Amino acid sequence: MRTTTIAVIHGPNLRLLGRREVHVYGDTTLAQIDERLAASAAELDVSVETFQSNHEGAILDHIEGLAERVQGILINPGALTHTSIALRDALAGVALPVVEVHLSNTAARERFRRHSYVAGVAVGVVAGFGARSYLLGLRALVDHLRDPG
Ligand code: DQA
């Protein structure tokens, strides 16, 4: 049995990946991202459990219960990245290592995307590599759990 489980959280509008602003986010669907994450997790000998919601409160409720069953959180908070102090507080409260990921390079886009409320409570951020950001983020999180440095 795998002893490390990572919670993967996809925030608002990410269910539309593959159809949504393809020139920005690429044509990979969320289901394909989840499949690739599961394959990477198996290679890394960890488990992943994934969750998507368009509702901020549902994401906060989900995070609240994670400490008992996972060792780290990989999150693409979508637009909540730039708006939600409540999400930041939920992540800080659960006190698990967090890696923030974005498909797009948010630093190179509109000014309002340059600030992240989540980054301050994350171990690190991976952005700009399309669907691969998730896989790089998973690898970085597992590496951090094995050797926090
Ligand atoms: C995103 C970037 C956010 O600014 C945006 O609101 C999203 C997607 C990304 O993965 O690039 O919904 O998180």
Residues 6+ apart with CB under 8 A from 46: 2, 4, 5, 6, 142
User: What's the pLDDT tens digit per position in 24-54?
Assistant: 998 899 999 999 999 999 999 999 999 999 9
Active site residue 23: no
Strand partners, 5: 47
Rounded Cα gap, residues 38 and 56, in angstroms: 25
Helix (H) or strand (E) holding 23: helix 22-25
Cα(6) to centroid(ligand 1), Å: 21
Answer yes or no: is pLDDT of 149 > 90. no
Rounded Cα gap, residues 5 and 47, in angstroms: 5
Cα(103) to centroid(ligand 1), Å: 7
Which residue, chain included where needed, has tokens 């600030």?
Answer: 115
User: What's the pLDDT tens digit per position in 51-96?
Assistant: 999 999 999 999 999 999 999 999 999 999 999 999 999 999 999 9
Nearest to 118 by CA among 145, 74, 72, 85: 85
CATH superfamily of 5-146: Dehydroquinase, class II (3.40.50.9100)
Helices (H), 21-119: 22-25, 30-44, 56-64, 85-94
